[in-house]
Amino acid sequence: MKMVVTDFGIDKALRTLGVKAINEGASTGSNYFSNGGIIESISPVDGSLIGKVKTTTKEDFETVMDVATKAFKVWRIVPAPQRGEIVRQFGEKLREKKEALGKLVSFEMGKSFQEGLGEVQEMIDICDFAVGLSRQLHGLTMHSERPGHRMYEQYHSLGVVGIISAFNFPVAVWSWNTALAWVCGDVTVWKPSEKVPLCGIACQNIAAEVFAENNLPEGISCLINGDYKVGEFMTKDSRIPLISATGSIRMGKIVAQEVASRLGKSLLELGGNNAIIVTPDADIKMTVIGAIFGAVGTAGQRCTSTRRLIIHESICDKVKLAIVDAYKQLRIGNPLDENNHIGPLIDKDAVKLYQHALKKVVEEGGNLIVEGGVLSGEGYESGCYVKPAIAEAKPDFEIVQHETFAPILYLLKYSGNVENAIDIQNNVVQGLSSAIMTNNLREAEQFLSVAGSDCGIANVNIGTSGAEIGGAFGGEKETGGGRESGSDAWKIYMRRQTNTINYTNELPLAQGIKFDL
């Protein structure tokens, strides 16, 4: 099969990343093998076939797990700072191949080239974070109630970490998990979304180079490919103590129940229904920028995308006019053309969900002030390009309660004080990202207080989208409660052990218990 060639050098990017016309979908490093069916990677940019990937069978998975578990026994005894050095080298490889990987992310997923580059930069950043972390996997020491005893806690490597990632961030979310898992002494088995399998192949190729150059076991980084049935291989496998899964709430509930049934651990990053509260003291210019990037960035396909704009009634018309005017300036088209703001949705199924949401909000009594629609004609042949839409709605509309992965922004009005806006914001099942636009210190602090936002992320005077890797990323309620990336998120990738050492000739018991023989 001939590789797709565009004016933007996709063919060169694929060669640089070692992505072939037909790729084996299971890998234990540089060793690729697969005996399953074929996944076709179709670009939403122009509808072209980029490449094919063979899926992973149960027998392939058993081979992967055998290699991974053996690699873990070697990797876990490598000192953590030395593991950090390997992650540093991986980060350097990413720097070398940033443009190529960014282009593949953009072309296979459909996000803008700048966002593709930004996603690879996130990978580089988490590698830098993990390198420093490799010398800071601290436990605690504590005083014993028994004389001549010392107590402390330490963290040990957990084992094989299973990673299930979504299409919208095809490489970054994997790296959040992988970089931390590796410095913690774990090995990883990754199932990328079947919608973006080539990004997984590319990342595995880069990782394999690093491990080969350092004479380390290939199984430290493993890859499997396929649909949800392949993911079930991991969720049901007791050899995998931790499953980190990113996706829909529906998917997360299935994963959580399956993993819990075998008393495994799950790290879930699920849906978001994120809102920005705009108070009378808001800076309108900043609000417009934050809201628009949040709503249309990645064509509204971020878990942190802004879905709801909750505006005080006194400034609602002013904000509405400013945003509608700004939407007129948006350019939609090939995401590798940096003149464009918005690329396509991931596939035609996503387009159908977008159309359903627009129909539903009107049926419930909403008003489309910026009408959407599917674009056609030259440059839009894939059928995946849609217009960003804005709808005036009410908070209790059923469609507003749900997350639609598309560039649809709901304008909601509130009256009275900021507590009313916070109530509206919190009155959804999701709890990922939130923001308030205000220059009023009291409102800002109230939003961040225990009685304020119930989300895992709460921002003041920035939007809901665009988290930095230094802070723990994740949400509450049906978003899953997981935390990835920065802060102390590393702890879930390790097992904690409490140790007590008696350095006396006596054996006193705790709580003063007497047991004389």
3-state helix, strand, coil in the chain (%, to 5): 40, 20, 40
| Angle at the Cα of 155 from the Cα atoms of 150 and 158, rounded to 5 degrees | 145
Residue 231 DSSP class: H
Which residue reads 């079947």 in tokens? 194
Active site residue 476: no
Alpha-carbon gap, residue 304 to 457, rounded angstroms: 9
Query: Which alpha helices (H) appear in 451-490, and where do they start and end?
Result: none
Reduced to 3 states, what is the DSSP secondary structure of residue 278? strand
Q: Where are the beta strands (DSSP E) in 38-104?
A: 38-42, 49-54
| Closest by CA position to 311, among listed 424, 449, 445, 150 | 424
Residue 125 DSSP class: H
| Closest by CA position to 170, among listed 202, 129, 206 | 202
List the structure tokens of 27.
């890998």
Task: Point out which residues pair with 153 in neighbouring strands.
Answer: 498
| Burial status of residue 250 (CB atoms within 10 A of its CB: 0-12, 13-18, 19 or more) | exposed
Burial 287-305 (b: 16+ CB within 10 A, else e): bbebbbbbbbbbbbbbbbb
Which residue reads 């000739």 in tokens? 505
Task: Point out which residues pair with 495 in neighbouring strands.
Answer: 156
The torsion angle over the Cα atoms of residues 277, 359, 299 and 341, rounded to 10 degrees, is -90
Alpha-carbon gap, residue 129 to 469, rounded angstroms: 8
Do 351 and 405 meet the contact criterion of CB atoms below 8 Å apart? Answer: no
269, 403, 478, 484: the catalytic one is 269
184, 199, 222, 303: the catalytic one is 303
| Closest by CA position to 430, among listed 298, 211, 313, 268 | 268
Active site residue 303: yes
Residue 374 DSSP class: B
Q: Which residues are catalytic?
A: 269, 303
